[in-house]
Structure 1
Amino acid sequence: MIYDFSKPTCRRGTNSYKWDSATGDDIIPLWVADMDFETYPGITEALRRRVDHAIFGYTRVPDGYYETVCRWFEERHGWRFHRDDIIYTSGVVPAISAIIKALTLTGDQVVVMGPVYNCFFSSIRNNGCELSSSPLIYNKALLRYEIDFHDLEQRLSHERARLLLLCNPHNPGGRVWSRDELERVAVLCKKHGVRVVSDEIHCELTLGDHRYTPFGTLPDDLSYGSVTCCSPSKAFNIAGLQIANIVCRDAAVRERIDRAININEVCDVNPFGVLALQAAYSDGGYDWLCQLRAYLTENYRRLRNFFARELPHLPVMNMEGTYLAWVDCSSLGESSEHIEERLMRENRVWVNAGSMYGKEGEGFIRINMACPWSRLEEGIKRIGK
């Protein structure tokens, strides 16, 4: 079946956080990371059947749910784990918060590689831990981020370092970390007794020929004690259905996390999320996903060509994954927040200021490319003005 991602769908008036948070109807929102594409129709059909039942009590997660998750990751990504390794919860951010609660004490350090997803900061802070950010190296010649392994090891060696929060693929930098890079990170973490917690929510959203490597597929001596958070929410545009999974093969660690999930009261999920995941992780869902990735890759190609032609002083990062373009605006000599505010006020287009992803993101903006090209084209033309 052929899917049409160029179809514009009006989202205003639906209490959309992305669209209805705007101050005016003329603003094009290219900010928060959800897509303007209708989800895979198989998901809609599954939810429609459930709605027709007309009773929405507490849900029991069935055996088929676990089997679907295990099969998807083994067949699509070569990552084999068992149903007992899975803890379901309502989202990746609640999962990360519970994991930090379970595996740290107040005052411990949690290492990240900045710039990085902003909710990492609040999850660390809210659990009484200290942020330790290892800045990624911005390779301007290759227009990509690289890991500063020397600085990373210094931070991992700190006596209070307990966890490394890894973003794989990386948001907002767009890197899909290679197996070699992940193994080097894992070796350092093992050397210094730091556990890896990998946020892999963007794992399905690779661009072009790039391939995602699950951290859990590294050799057992490097990955056994790691924790991975994943969800179909980004790839299938179902974040509002609130479903995610924690995968951990170490039973003792998993038991601690499960207790924290219950302490944080994020142990219950809704029936729509359970059904949506099972529909998404199907052969039909995979076909839809492949066509989505092709459309996103083409959007990215067109966006880069526009900036190269019209705004050559604002380089676009070489994106390997996610649908979030990362643009270097440092030549403007303005703060990221001022650029965001000015684009909204003067040009009626909403992007994210890079500074919200840590001090390493200052001078950048983030643009959501997950919308019909006609909408994205109008947004970047407004930026060009």
Structure 2
Amino acid sequence: MYDFDKIVSRENTNCAKWDAVEKGLLPMWVADMDFQSPPEVMMALQERAQHGVFGYSSGYGDWFEVLIQWMRKRYGWAPQREWISTSPGVVAALFMLVRALTEPGDRIIIQPPVYRPFYYVARSNGCELLENPLYFDGNKYRMDLEQLRQKVDSRVKLMILCSPHNPIGRVWSREELLALGQFCLEHEITIISDEIHSDLVLPDYKHTVLASVSKELEQNMIVCNAPSKTFNIAGIPASNVIIANENLRSAYRRVLRESGLALPNVFAVTAVEAAYTYGEAWLDELLLYLEENYRLTAGFLAERIPEIKLVEPEGTYLLWLDCRSLGLDDKELDSFIKEKAKLLLEPGTIFGTGGNGFQRMNIACPRSRLLVALQRLEKAVRG
């Protein structure tokens, strides 16, 4: 039994979420959790720190083996060992993959509203951004492949997929991924699938690793995932880059070496091994706790703040709040959230096209803190 109700002070720890914000605001923004990591991870790091010598790493230990076992058990699909490379983080991997796989003037597809760094990545290496906005029917988002079909041309080389999708919380179905994969195969577009939230899926849904959809697609894409969101170790530089295609893999590893990032952080190896080996029971309890936080939020909004509509999530601990009925423009909405509700959320506008009138809220915190946030929001709306 793990205590997710425990309040852990993160202030004065050089913490982006708590220390880089205006005093008096309750931070429910950046995507890390206010829970301690699994005890086994903390113990492993403490033991490694007590050794006292932190020289260069010589390899990855059991990192790749425990990742393979984790993915096989959780998703029914696992990479071969030689397919696995690493990166300090998924965003760093995205930048390196664009360097490895594109030329200036190539076009890269993203599907907004989407994680903000995708915009920077898609414009890197002299590339041109191509937006294919998700279709929203007022309740649920879906990919619009017919719209995309009208936009693609021979200059489109890559698509960056967010799966599960941040900030809207969609967990793409196998059928949706198959349709997308076939489209990209037909148009010779390589997919980079950011699956960093893949372990954080609500009970009624199932994450599908894009590479598992078909053998043909497996050779036309890259999976990027990490233990960082799952086990709340985002401050430790560790992510996985899984590439079945030998040519794509060689291109990525060349850029990885040229960037001076081929050797892992000494604490990253320890944390990854412990998390994937011993963290499953902790994660399973976490998912139940997050589900209850979601249900609390959904019920509270429906009963007490119906002006704010929750887009029903399928995964992640990030909720997408439709605030358009408040009748505020985006600048007014941001001021309302900060100055009246005394909350720090993520404005929908930072997620690009389709984000106007929305706010993203992180509910990965003790329930008592979540309730305070909801009460502040209610007071602001009613005040």
Q: CA deviation at 1:221?
A: 1.3
Contact 1:94–1:266 (CA<8 Å) still a contact in 2? Answer: no
What is the CA RMSD across the aligned residues, in angstroms? 1.2
* Aligned residue identity for 1:208: P
Alignment CA distance shift 1:109-1:40 (3 Å): same
Which residue number in structure 1 is paired with residue 288 of structure 2? 294
2:25 to 21, 24, 27: 27
Contact 1:114–1:358 (CA<8 Å) still a contact in 2? Answer: yes
CA distance in 2, matches of 1:343, 1:88: 38
Which residue number in structure 2 is paired with residue 246 of structure 1? 241
**Which is worse superposed, 346-355 or 198-207?**
346-355
SS of the residue corresponding to residue 45 of structure 2 reads helix
Which residue number in structure 1 is paired with residue 9 of structure 2? 10
Q: CA deviation at 1:335?
A: 3.1
TM-score in terms of structure 1 length: 0.96
**Which is worse superposed, 292-301 or 74-83?**
74-83
Contact 2:109–2:122 (CA<8 Å) still a contact in 1? Answer: no
CA distance in 1, matches of 2:241, 2:158: 16
**Do structure 1's residue 153 and structure 2's residue 149 form an aligned pair?**
yes
CA distance in 1, matches of 2:74, 2:353: 36
Q: CA deviation at 1:280?
A: 0.8
CA distance in 2, matches of 1:296, 1:338: 30
Which residue number in structure 2 is paired with residue 377 of structure 1? 371
Matches within 5 A, 1:177-192: 177-192=172-187
Contact 1:323–1:368 (CA<8 Å) still a contact in 2? Answer: yes
Contact 1:86–1:246 (CA<8 Å) still a contact in 2? Answer: yes
CA distance in 1, matches of 2:206, 2:304: 31
CA distance in 2, matches of 1:335, 1:172: 20
CA distance in 2, matches of 1:6, 1:153: 48
Q: CA deviation at 1:130?
A: 1.1
CA distance in 1, matches of 2:150, 2:263: 39
**Which is worse superposed, 354-363 or 183-192?**
354-363
Q: CA deviation at 1:374?
A: 0.6
TM-score in terms of structure 2 length: 0.96
**Do structure 1's residue 119 and structure 2's residue 117 form an aligned pair?**
yes
Percent of counterpart pairs with the same letter?
38
Q: CA deviation at 1:68?
A: 0.9
CA distance in 1, matches of 2:52, 2:146: 57
Contact 2:201–2:314 (CA<8 Å) still a contact in 1? Answer: yes
Q: CA deviation at 1:266?
A: 3.0
Matches within 5 A, 1:327-338: 327-338=321-332
Which residue number in structure 1 is paired with residue 81 of structure 2? 83
Q: Which runs of 5+ in 2 are unaligned?
A: none
* Aligned residue identity for 1:36: D
CA distance in 2, matches of 1:34, 1:336: 25
